[in-house]
Amino acid sequence: MQGISKLRRLVFSSTFIRIASAITTLFGISVFVFLVLRVIPGNTITGAFGIETGALNPQQIAELRHYYGIDQPMVMQYISWMRSFLSGNFGYSFATGRSVFTLTKVALPVTVELAFIGTILGVIMGIAIGMFSARKPGSLRDFGGQLFGLLALAIPGFVLSTAIVTIMANKFHYFPNSLEYMPPWKDPWMNFQQMMFPGLVLGIAVAAPVMRTTRSALLETVDKDFVRTAFGKGVPSRKVQFKHVLRNSLIPIVTMTGIQFGYLLGGAVIVEKIFALPGMGRQVLEAITRREYATVQSSVMVFAIMFVTINILTDLVYRRVDPRIK
């Protein structure tokens, strides 16, 4: 009884530590992004007025600084933003005339959907090709699998995206992303068409590391005693591969997938740009150009919260995948 209670305490304390460290990370990110935006040259006024800022007189500039709230001391600006952010007010985008929350409500599902599609396609391709390669290491099929991994890592997303867009548009007169973006609940078929190719590009990028991780994890596991025993007991090869080898190799694959999903949330900027998807990546990029502090800060915090949450969820999945971790 005492043992169980000790274990429980341990679990609770490790969860507590995990959450506390996540909060500290988020705080660090909030300070970092806040400071970086203010260290780089330019501000919301130059972002909004461009070279015409030169036509403004000092009084107008002072009024604009007050209007944009950048006349306050930095500490006050940070506290004001944090207070608003924590109460659900993400700030206001002057360029679009909308609240950052409203913009994020539209952009976040696009990016999340894209990241999900990319991850799912990447995991399916990565595990399948990884298993395919690992079945006969050193063979031609292994070479083929590894070549795919190398190419997928080497070809930049923007090259692949541009090639797909150009070929599909020029040869087949097909570029659904140049039509109005349709969320899945409005027009699922159009949404599928608009997400298919960007999802594939991201999927290929995810597949490469997943494939390499899968291959090495499988090769490591396949030499274990329990696999030999399973084969010795006459268990069919396919069953051994899936139930024993793959199952016991899942930890690094899950870790890699979690990391890749996190990266996809922030790394889809270029793909969103080329495929004209109104996602978070574009929102942040355009806001940085315009030096819209509230939009950049709040959007980055949304990314950070999601990244940290995914990491915690990945830890939880470990426990599910490998009972020894419990």
Partner 1 sequence: MKLRKKIAVVGVATALVAGVVLVAPAQAASKDLVVGITLDIDKLDPQGATSFSTVRALGLVYGSLVEVGPKLQIRPGLATSWGFNAAGTELRLHLRKGVKFQDGSAFDATDVKASLDRILDPANKAAARANIATIKSISASGLNVTLTLTQPNVPILAALDGVNMAMLSSTDIAAGNVGKAGSVNGTGPFKFVSWDAGQSVKLTKNSTYWGGAPKLDTVTFRVIPTEASILSALNAGTVQFAVITSPLVAKQVSSNLTMYKTPGLAYMALQINARQAPFNNLNVRLAVQCAISRAEVVKTAASGDGSVIGPITSPAYKSDPKARPCPEVDLVKAKAYLTAAGYPNGLTFKTMVAPTQQATIAGIGQSLKSQLAKAGITMELDVVDDSTFVSRWLAADFGTAIANNGGKIDPDTMYTRYFTSTGNLNKVAGYSSATLDSLFTQGKASGSVTQRTAIYKAISAELENNAAWVWLFAPLEYRVTAKNVTGFVPLATGSLLELRKVDMN
Footprint of partner 1 (CB under 8 A): 40-43, 46-57, 59-60, 63-64, 93, 95-98, 103, 106-107, 162, 165-166, 168-170, 172-181, 190, 193, 196, 273-276, 278, 282-283, 286, 288-291
Closer residue to partner 1, CB minimum distance, 145 or 176: 176
- Give 131's contacts (C-beta < 8 A, 6+ positions apart): 214, 218, 241, 246
The C-alpha atoms of residue 151 and residue 201 are separated, in whole angstroms, by: 12
Sequential DSSP letters for 184-250: TTT-HHHHHHHHHHHHHHHHHHHHHHHHHHHHHHHHHHHTSHHHHHHHHTT--HHHIIIIIIIHHTH
Residue matched to tokens 């990945």: 314
Least distance (Å) from partner 1 to the CB of residue 120?
16
Smallest separation (angstroms) from partner 1 to the CB of 275? 7
Q: How far apart are CA 78 and CA 84, in angstroms?
A: 10
CB of 181 to partner 1, least distance (A): 6
Distance CA(27)–CA(81), nearest Å, equals: 13
Report in angstroms how near the CB of residue 77 gets to partner 1 at its nearest: 18
Which residue, 14 or 289, has its beta carbon nearer to partner 1? 289
Minimum distance, C-beta of residue 97 to partner 1, in the bound complex (Å): 7
Task: With beta carbons less than 8 A apart as the criterion, state whether 37 and 291 touch.
Answer: yes
Nearer to partner 1, 260 or 295 (CB): 295
Least distance between partner 1 and beta carbon 134 (Å) = 22
Task: Give phi and psi for 42, each to the nearest 5.
Answer: 95, 160
What's 256's DSSP letter?
A: H
Q: Which amino acid is at 70?
A: I
In the bound state with partner 1, the residue whose beta carbon lies nearer, of 29 and 164, is 164
Cβ proximity to partner 1: between 239 and 319 the closer is 239
Nearer to partner 1 (CB atom), residue 94 or residue 318: 94
